[in-house]
Protein backbone atom coordinates (compact mmCIF):
# COMPACT_ATOMS: atom_id res chain seq x y z
CA UNK A 1 0.00 0.00 0.00
CA UNK A 2 1.04 3.60 -0.35
CA UNK A 3 2.68 5.57 2.42
CA UNK A 4 -0.31 6.23 4.63
CA UNK A 5 1.83 7.98 7.24
CA UNK A 6 2.87 10.60 4.67
CA UNK A 7 -0.57 11.71 3.57
CA UNK A 8 -1.45 15.36 3.95
CA UNK A 9 2.16 16.53 4.19
CA UNK A 10 3.75 18.92 1.74
CA UNK A 11 5.67 17.18 -1.02
CA UNK A 12 9.00 18.54 0.20
CA UNK A 13 8.35 17.13 3.68
CA UNK A 14 7.50 13.73 2.22
CA UNK A 15 10.89 13.61 0.54
CA UNK A 16 12.67 14.65 3.73
CA UNK A 17 10.91 11.96 5.76
CA UNK A 18 12.50 9.27 3.57
CA UNK A 19 10.06 6.64 4.75
CA UNK A 20 9.81 3.31 2.94
CA UNK A 21 6.09 2.77 2.96
CA UNK A 22 5.33 -0.52 1.22
CA UNK A 23 4.72 -2.39 4.46
CA UNK A 24 2.73 -1.28 7.45
CA UNK A 25 4.54 -0.24 10.63
CA UNK A 26 3.82 -2.13 13.81
CA UNK A 27 0.42 -0.87 14.84
CA UNK A 28 -0.11 1.21 17.94
CA UNK A 29 -2.40 -1.58 19.14
CA UNK A 30 0.72 -3.54 20.10
CA UNK A 31 1.96 -0.99 22.57
CA UNK A 32 1.60 -1.30 26.33
CA UNK A 33 -0.34 1.48 28.04
CA UNK A 34 0.79 0.51 31.52
CA UNK A 35 3.76 2.14 33.19
CA UNK A 36 6.85 0.29 31.94
CA UNK A 37 8.54 -2.05 34.37
CA UNK A 38 12.28 -1.70 34.92
CA UNK A 39 12.85 -4.55 32.46
CA UNK A 40 12.17 -3.94 28.78
CA UNK A 41 8.57 -4.32 27.64
CA UNK A 42 8.13 -6.79 24.83
CA UNK A 43 4.86 -6.98 22.86
CA UNK A 44 3.80 -10.59 22.22
CA UNK A 45 3.49 -11.85 18.66
CA UNK A 46 0.01 -11.00 17.30
CA UNK A 47 -2.43 -13.82 17.96
CA UNK A 48 -0.67 -15.13 21.05
CA UNK A 49 -2.38 -15.40 24.47
CA UNK A 50 -2.50 -12.15 26.36
CA UNK A 51 -3.96 -10.06 23.56
CA UNK A 52 -2.33 -7.43 21.38
CA UNK A 53 -2.26 -4.78 24.08
CA UNK A 54 -0.40 -6.93 26.62
CA UNK A 55 3.31 -6.67 27.31
CA UNK A 56 5.64 -9.06 29.04
CA UNK A 57 8.79 -8.28 30.97
CA UNK A 58 12.01 -9.75 29.65
CA UNK A 59 15.40 -9.52 31.32
CA UNK A 60 17.67 -6.80 29.96
CA UNK A 61 20.71 -7.92 27.97
CA UNK A 62 23.86 -8.55 29.97
CA UNK A 63 25.95 -5.48 30.64
CA UNK A 64 28.92 -4.94 28.36
CA UNK A 65 32.34 -5.48 29.92
CA UNK A 66 33.92 -2.36 31.33
CA UNK A 67 36.48 -2.29 28.51
CA UNK A 68 33.66 -1.83 26.00
CA UNK A 69 31.94 1.06 27.75
CA UNK A 70 31.85 4.36 25.89
CA UNK A 71 32.55 7.70 27.62
CA UNK A 72 29.55 9.94 27.10
CA UNK A 73 28.33 13.47 27.66
CA UNK A 74 24.71 14.39 28.39
CA UNK A 75 23.46 16.85 25.74
CA UNK A 76 19.84 17.84 25.07
CA UNK A 77 18.63 15.01 27.35
CA UNK A 78 20.51 12.40 25.29
CA UNK A 79 23.81 10.63 26.02
CA UNK A 80 26.36 11.52 23.33
CA UNK A 81 29.82 10.15 22.46
CA UNK A 82 32.61 12.31 21.02
CA UNK A 83 33.42 11.27 17.45
CA UNK A 84 37.10 11.52 18.43
CA UNK A 85 36.49 8.74 20.96
CA UNK A 86 35.26 6.55 18.09
CA UNK A 87 38.43 7.37 16.17
CA UNK A 88 40.62 6.51 19.15
CA UNK A 89 38.84 3.22 19.83
CA UNK A 90 39.27 1.97 16.27
CA UNK A 91 42.68 3.39 15.37
CA UNK A 92 41.36 6.09 13.04
CA UNK A 93 42.44 9.69 12.54
CA UNK A 94 39.81 12.41 13.02
CA UNK A 95 40.06 15.60 10.96
CA UNK A 96 37.75 18.45 10.04
CA UNK A 97 36.62 18.70 6.43
CA UNK A 98 34.68 21.85 7.22
CA UNK A 99 35.56 23.29 10.61
CA UNK A 100 32.72 22.88 13.10
CA UNK A 101 30.52 21.15 10.58
CA UNK A 102 31.93 18.06 8.81
CA UNK A 103 34.43 15.62 10.35
CA UNK A 104 35.91 12.54 8.75
CA UNK A 105 37.73 9.53 10.21
CA UNK A 106 40.49 7.95 8.13
CA UNK A 107 42.54 4.79 8.50
CA UNK A 108 46.33 4.55 8.50
CA UNK A 109 46.40 4.43 4.70
CA UNK A 110 44.48 7.70 4.48
CA UNK A 111 41.29 6.02 3.31
CA UNK A 112 38.19 7.87 4.59
CA UNK A 113 36.07 5.39 6.55
CA UNK A 114 33.48 7.63 8.22
CA UNK A 115 32.08 11.09 7.64
CA UNK A 116 29.80 12.89 10.09
CA UNK A 117 28.02 16.22 9.67
CA UNK A 118 26.63 18.55 12.33
CA UNK A 119 22.84 18.52 12.71
CA UNK A 120 22.45 15.48 10.46
CA UNK A 121 20.77 12.15 11.18
CA UNK A 122 22.90 10.26 8.70
CA UNK A 123 26.60 9.56 8.22
CA UNK A 124 28.70 7.81 5.59
CA UNK A 125 30.62 4.58 6.12
CA UNK A 126 32.94 3.72 3.23
CA UNK A 127 30.80 5.97 1.04
CA UNK A 128 27.48 4.34 1.98
CA UNK A 129 24.76 6.46 3.58
CA UNK A 130 23.63 5.18 6.99
CA UNK A 131 20.79 6.67 9.05
CA UNK A 132 20.85 7.10 12.83
CA UNK A 133 18.18 7.61 15.46
CA UNK A 134 19.51 10.92 16.77
CA UNK A 135 21.06 13.99 15.21
CA UNK A 136 24.81 14.61 15.27
CA UNK A 137 25.63 17.72 17.34
CA UNK A 138 28.58 20.11 17.64
CA UNK A 139 29.92 20.52 21.18
CA UNK A 140 33.22 21.85 22.55
CA UNK A 141 35.15 21.82 19.27
CA UNK A 142 34.03 18.35 18.22
CA UNK A 143 31.07 16.42 16.82
CA UNK A 144 29.04 14.06 18.98
CA UNK A 145 26.95 11.01 18.06
CA UNK A 146 24.34 9.54 20.40
CA UNK A 147 25.58 6.65 22.53
CA UNK A 148 22.76 4.39 21.32
CA UNK A 149 23.75 5.08 17.71
CA UNK A 150 27.37 4.26 18.51
CA UNK A 151 26.44 0.99 20.22
CA UNK A 152 23.68 -0.09 17.81
CA UNK A 153 25.05 1.15 14.48
CA UNK A 154 28.57 2.57 14.32
CA UNK A 155 30.41 -0.03 16.42
CA UNK A 156 28.81 -3.15 14.88
CA UNK A 157 29.57 -1.91 11.37
CA UNK A 158 33.14 -0.84 12.09
CA UNK A 159 34.11 -3.85 14.21
CA UNK A 160 31.51 -6.66 14.08
CA UNK A 161 33.97 -9.10 15.66
CA UNK A 162 33.96 -6.99 18.83
CA UNK A 163 30.79 -8.81 19.94
CA UNK A 164 30.86 -12.30 18.40
CA UNK A 165 28.30 -13.40 21.01
CA UNK A 166 25.72 -11.20 19.28
CA UNK A 167 26.27 -12.57 15.77
CA UNK A 168 24.95 -15.93 14.50
CA UNK A 169 26.70 -18.43 12.29
CA UNK A 170 26.42 -17.91 8.51
CA UNK A 171 22.88 -18.54 7.25
CA UNK A 172 21.78 -21.79 5.67
CA UNK A 173 17.98 -21.46 5.38
CA UNK A 174 16.61 -18.15 4.05
CA UNK A 175 12.94 -17.15 3.93
CA UNK A 176 12.19 -14.80 1.02
CA UNK A 177 9.16 -12.54 1.24
CA UNK A 178 7.70 -11.04 -1.97
CA UNK A 179 5.85 -7.95 -0.79
CA UNK A 180 2.05 -7.66 -1.16
CA UNK A 181 -0.02 -10.13 -3.24
CA UNK A 182 -3.61 -11.12 -3.97
CA UNK A 183 -6.00 -8.19 -3.52
CA UNK A 184 -3.11 -6.02 -2.29
CA UNK A 185 -1.23 -4.84 -5.41
CA UNK A 186 1.21 -2.66 -3.47
CA UNK A 187 2.54 0.38 -5.27
CA UNK A 188 1.54 0.78 -8.90
CA UNK A 189 2.71 2.52 -12.04
CA UNK A 190 -0.51 2.99 -13.97
CA UNK A 191 1.24 4.46 -17.01
CA UNK A 192 3.26 1.27 -17.51
CA UNK A 193 0.65 -1.09 -16.00
CA UNK A 194 3.02 -2.37 -13.32
CA UNK A 195 1.99 -3.72 -9.92
CA UNK A 196 4.49 -4.07 -7.12
CA UNK A 197 3.11 -7.49 -6.14
CA UNK A 198 4.02 -8.98 -9.56
CA UNK A 199 7.51 -7.49 -9.63
CA UNK A 200 8.40 -8.61 -6.11
CA UNK A 201 7.30 -12.18 -6.82
CA UNK A 202 9.34 -12.30 -10.03
CA UNK A 203 12.47 -10.96 -8.32
CA UNK A 204 12.12 -13.34 -5.38
CA UNK A 205 11.67 -16.36 -7.65
CA UNK A 206 14.87 -15.38 -9.45
CA UNK A 207 16.61 -14.79 -6.12
CA UNK A 208 15.58 -18.23 -4.86
CA UNK A 209 17.30 -19.90 -7.82
CA UNK A 210 20.46 -17.84 -7.34
CA UNK A 211 20.68 -18.59 -3.62
CA UNK A 212 20.07 -22.30 -4.11
CA UNK A 213 22.83 -22.38 -6.74
CA UNK A 214 25.15 -20.90 -4.08
CA UNK A 215 24.32 -23.60 -1.54
CA UNK A 216 21.59 -21.94 0.51
CA UNK A 217 18.10 -23.34 1.08
CA UNK A 218 15.28 -20.89 0.32
CA UNK A 219 11.57 -20.80 1.22
CA UNK A 220 9.00 -18.28 -0.09
CA UNK A 221 6.26 -16.74 2.05
CA UNK A 222 4.03 -16.80 -1.03
CA UNK A 223 4.83 -18.86 -4.15
CA UNK A 224 2.15 -17.18 -6.27
CA UNK A 225 -0.28 -14.24 -6.39
CA UNK A 226 -1.98 -14.68 -3.03
CA UNK A 227 -2.46 -12.47 0.01
CA UNK A 228 -0.45 -13.36 3.10
CA UNK A 229 -1.00 -11.28 6.23
CA UNK A 230 2.03 -9.40 7.49
CA UNK A 231 2.16 -11.21 10.83
CA UNK A 232 1.95 -14.57 9.08
CA UNK A 233 5.03 -13.80 6.99
CA UNK A 234 7.16 -13.64 10.12
CA UNK A 235 5.41 -16.77 11.43
CA UNK A 236 6.38 -18.68 8.28
CA UNK A 237 10.03 -17.87 8.95
CA UNK A 238 9.67 -18.91 12.59
CA UNK A 239 8.08 -22.27 11.71
CA UNK A 240 10.80 -22.92 9.13
CA UNK A 241 13.47 -22.10 11.76
CA UNK A 242 14.98 -19.71 9.22
CA UNK A 243 18.44 -18.21 9.64
CA UNK A 244 17.52 -15.13 7.62
CA UNK A 245 14.39 -13.26 6.49
CA UNK A 246 14.41 -10.96 3.45
CA UNK A 247 11.40 -8.94 2.30
CA UNK A 248 11.51 -7.43 -1.21
CA UNK A 249 9.56 -4.29 -2.18
CA UNK A 250 9.47 -1.40 -4.63
CA UNK A 251 9.04 2.17 -3.50
CA UNK A 252 6.79 5.10 -4.47
CA UNK A 253 6.33 8.78 -3.72
CA UNK A 254 3.52 11.26 -4.57
CA UNK A 255 3.33 12.52 -8.13
CA UNK A 256 4.59 16.00 -7.19
CA UNK A 257 8.06 14.64 -6.40
CA UNK A 258 8.05 11.18 -7.99
CA UNK A 259 9.87 12.21 -11.14
CA UNK A 260 12.88 13.50 -9.19
CA UNK A 261 13.46 10.55 -6.86
CA UNK A 262 15.22 7.29 -7.73
CA UNK A 263 17.36 4.80 -5.91
CA UNK A 264 17.50 2.03 -3.35
CA UNK A 265 16.66 1.95 0.35
CA UNK A 266 17.30 -0.90 2.78
CA UNK A 267 15.63 -1.26 6.17
CA UNK A 268 16.27 -3.13 9.39
CA UNK A 269 14.25 -2.92 12.60
CA UNK A 270 14.61 0.30 14.60
CA UNK A 271 16.43 -0.32 17.91
CA UNK A 272 14.47 0.19 21.10
CA UNK A 273 14.36 3.80 22.38
CA UNK A 274 15.21 5.22 18.94
CA UNK A 275 13.28 7.07 16.26
CA UNK A 276 12.69 5.34 12.96
CA UNK A 277 14.26 7.06 9.97
CA UNK A 278 10.97 8.62 8.84
CA UNK A 279 9.94 9.87 12.30
CA UNK A 280 10.58 13.36 13.59
CA UNK A 281 9.62 12.40 17.14
CA UNK A 282 9.56 9.22 19.22
CA UNK A 283 6.24 7.52 19.77
CA UNK A 284 5.22 4.98 22.40
CA UNK A 285 6.44 2.09 20.26
CA UNK A 286 9.99 3.32 20.78
CA UNK A 287 9.74 2.18 24.41
CA UNK A 288 8.99 -1.40 23.38
CA UNK A 289 11.46 -4.18 22.73
CA UNK A 290 10.00 -6.15 19.83
CA UNK A 291 11.13 -9.75 19.31
CA UNK A 292 13.29 -8.63 16.40
CA UNK A 293 15.22 -6.26 18.66
CA UNK A 294 16.99 -9.22 20.21
CA UNK A 295 18.87 -9.34 16.92
CA UNK A 296 19.77 -5.65 16.55
CA UNK A 297 23.49 -6.36 16.22
CA UNK A 298 23.03 -8.90 13.41
CA UNK A 299 20.31 -6.80 11.75
CA UNK A 300 22.59 -3.79 11.29
CA UNK A 301 25.35 -5.93 9.75
CA UNK A 302 22.83 -7.58 7.42
CA UNK A 303 21.11 -4.35 6.37
CA UNK A 304 24.32 -2.50 5.66
CA UNK A 305 25.82 -5.29 3.54
CA UNK A 306 22.62 -5.67 1.53
CA UNK A 307 22.46 -1.93 0.91
CA UNK A 308 26.12 -1.69 -0.03
CA UNK A 309 25.84 -4.43 -2.66
CA UNK A 310 22.60 -3.01 -4.08
CA UNK A 311 24.36 0.29 -4.69
CA UNK A 312 27.46 -1.33 -6.14
CA UNK A 313 25.70 -3.84 -8.40
CA UNK A 314 22.86 -1.64 -9.64
CA UNK A 315 24.79 1.66 -9.73
CA UNK A 316 21.74 3.04 -7.97
CA UNK A 317 21.20 6.33 -6.14
CA UNK A 318 21.89 5.95 -2.43
CA UNK A 319 18.67 6.60 -0.51
CA UNK A 320 20.25 5.20 2.62
CA UNK A 321 20.35 2.25 4.96
CA UNK A 322 17.47 3.03 7.30
CA UNK A 323 15.41 1.82 10.26
CA UNK A 324 11.67 1.22 10.55
CA UNK A 325 9.24 -0.69 12.74
CA UNK A 326 7.57 -2.67 9.97
CA UNK A 327 5.59 -5.65 11.21
CA UNK A 328 7.59 -8.17 9.19
CA UNK A 329 10.74 -6.89 10.90
CA UNK A 330 9.28 -6.44 14.39
CA UNK A 331 8.28 -10.08 14.77
CA UNK A 332 11.11 -11.81 12.92
CA UNK A 333 12.91 -14.36 15.08
CA UNK A 334 16.01 -14.34 12.88
CA UNK A 335 18.05 -11.50 11.36
CA UNK A 336 15.77 -9.65 8.95
CA UNK A 337 15.86 -6.84 6.40
CA UNK A 338 13.51 -5.20 3.93
CA UNK A 339 14.76 -3.99 0.56
CA UNK A 340 13.14 -1.19 -1.48
CA UNK A 341 15.17 -1.79 -4.63
CA UNK A 342 13.77 0.97 -6.88
CA UNK A 343 10.97 3.52 -7.29
CA UNK A 344 7.89 2.45 -9.23
CA UNK A 345 6.71 6.06 -9.09
CA UNK A 346 9.67 7.14 -11.24
CA UNK A 347 8.88 6.26 -14.84
CA UNK A 348 12.54 5.84 -15.76
CA UNK A 349 13.18 3.29 -13.03
CA UNK A 350 9.80 1.67 -13.66
CA UNK A 351 10.70 1.08 -17.31
CA UNK A 352 13.88 -0.66 -16.18
CA UNK A 353 11.87 -2.74 -13.72
CA UNK A 354 9.59 -3.84 -16.54
CA UNK A 355 12.49 -5.74 -18.13
CA UNK A 356 13.46 -9.26 -17.01
CA UNK A 357 17.12 -8.29 -17.31
CA UNK A 358 16.90 -5.60 -14.65
CA UNK A 359 14.87 -7.78 -12.30
CA UNK A 360 17.59 -10.40 -12.66
CA UNK A 361 20.18 -7.76 -11.76
CA UNK A 362 18.23 -6.90 -8.62
CA UNK A 363 18.04 -10.55 -7.62
CA UNK A 364 21.78 -10.87 -8.25
CA UNK A 365 22.51 -7.81 -6.10
CA UNK A 366 20.47 -9.15 -3.19
CA UNK A 367 22.18 -12.54 -3.47
CA UNK A 368 25.54 -10.79 -3.41
CA UNK A 369 24.41 -8.95 -0.27
CA UNK A 370 23.57 -12.26 1.40
CA UNK A 371 27.04 -13.54 0.50
CA UNK A 372 28.66 -10.38 1.90
CA UNK A 373 26.73 -10.76 5.17
CA UNK A 374 27.62 -14.46 5.37
CA UNK A 375 31.28 -13.62 4.81
CA UNK A 376 31.26 -11.25 7.80
CA UNK A 377 29.74 -13.96 9.98
CA UNK A 378 32.21 -16.55 8.72
CA UNK A 379 35.10 -14.24 9.63
CA UNK A 380 33.67 -13.77 13.12
CA UNK A 381 32.94 -17.49 13.58
CA UNK A 382 35.63 -19.32 11.58
CA UNK A 383 35.18 -23.09 11.40
CA UNK A 384 37.37 -25.03 13.84
CA UNK A 385 40.71 -26.12 12.50
CA UNK A 386 40.73 -29.78 11.46
CA UNK A 387 42.31 -32.12 13.96
CA UNK A 388 45.77 -33.32 12.98
CA UNK A 389 45.83 -36.88 11.67
CA UNK A 390 46.57 -39.53 14.24
CA UNK A 391 50.06 -40.88 14.17
CA UNK A 392 50.92 -44.35 15.43
CA UNK A 393 54.41 -45.46 16.49
CA UNK A 394 55.94 -47.98 14.16
CA UNK A 395 55.49 -51.59 15.15
CA UNK A 396 58.29 -52.83 17.36
CA UNK A 397 60.69 -55.12 15.56
CA UNK A 398 60.11 -58.80 16.21
CA UNK A 399 62.75 -60.44 18.33
Q: DSSP labels for 225-251?
A: S----HHHHHHHHHHHT-SEEEEEEEE
- CA–CA separation, 364 vs 339, rounded Å? 13
Which domains are delineated in the chain? 70-158 (3.30.457.10), 165-380 (3.40.630.40)
Look at residue 302 and give its three-state secondary structure: helix
Provide the whole-model pTM. 0.84
Per-residue pLDDT for 56 more than 50? no
The pLDDT value recorded for residue 389 is 79
Q: Dump pLDDT digits (tens) for 149-198.
A: 999 999 999 999 999 999 999 999 999 999 999 999 999 999 999 999 99
Task: Using a pLDDT cut of 90, give the percent of the chain over it.
Answer: 76
Q: DSSP labels for 124-149?
A: EETTEEEE-SS--EEETTEEEEEHHH
What letter does residue 11 receive in the DSSP assignment? H
- What pLDDT band is residue 385 in, cutting at 50, 70 and 90? confident
Q: DSSP labels for 165-208?
A: GGS-PPPSEEEEEE--BTTB--SEETTTTEEHHHHHHHHHHHHH
Q: What is the mean pLDDT of the chain?
A: 86
- CA–CA separation, 65 vs 339, rounded Å? 34
Q: Under 8 Å CB-to-CB from 375, ≥6 apart: which residues?
A: 170
Look at residue 271 and give its three-state secondary structure: coil
Taking residues 56-83, report their average pLDDT.
71
Cβ atoms of 270 and 12 within 8 Å: the answer is: no
The pLDDT value recorded for residue 66 is 37
Amino acid sequence: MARSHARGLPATMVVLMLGGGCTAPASAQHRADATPAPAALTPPRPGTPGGPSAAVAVPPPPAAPVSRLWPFTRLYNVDYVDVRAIAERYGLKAAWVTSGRVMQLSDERGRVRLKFEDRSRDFYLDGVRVFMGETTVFHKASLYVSKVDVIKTVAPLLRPAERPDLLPRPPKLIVLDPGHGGNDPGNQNTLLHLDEKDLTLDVVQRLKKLLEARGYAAVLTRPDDRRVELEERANIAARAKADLFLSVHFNALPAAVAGRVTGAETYALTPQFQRSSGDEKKDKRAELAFPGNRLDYANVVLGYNLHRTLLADLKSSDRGYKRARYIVLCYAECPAALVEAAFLSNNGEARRLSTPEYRQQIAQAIADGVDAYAAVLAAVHPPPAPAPPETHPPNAASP
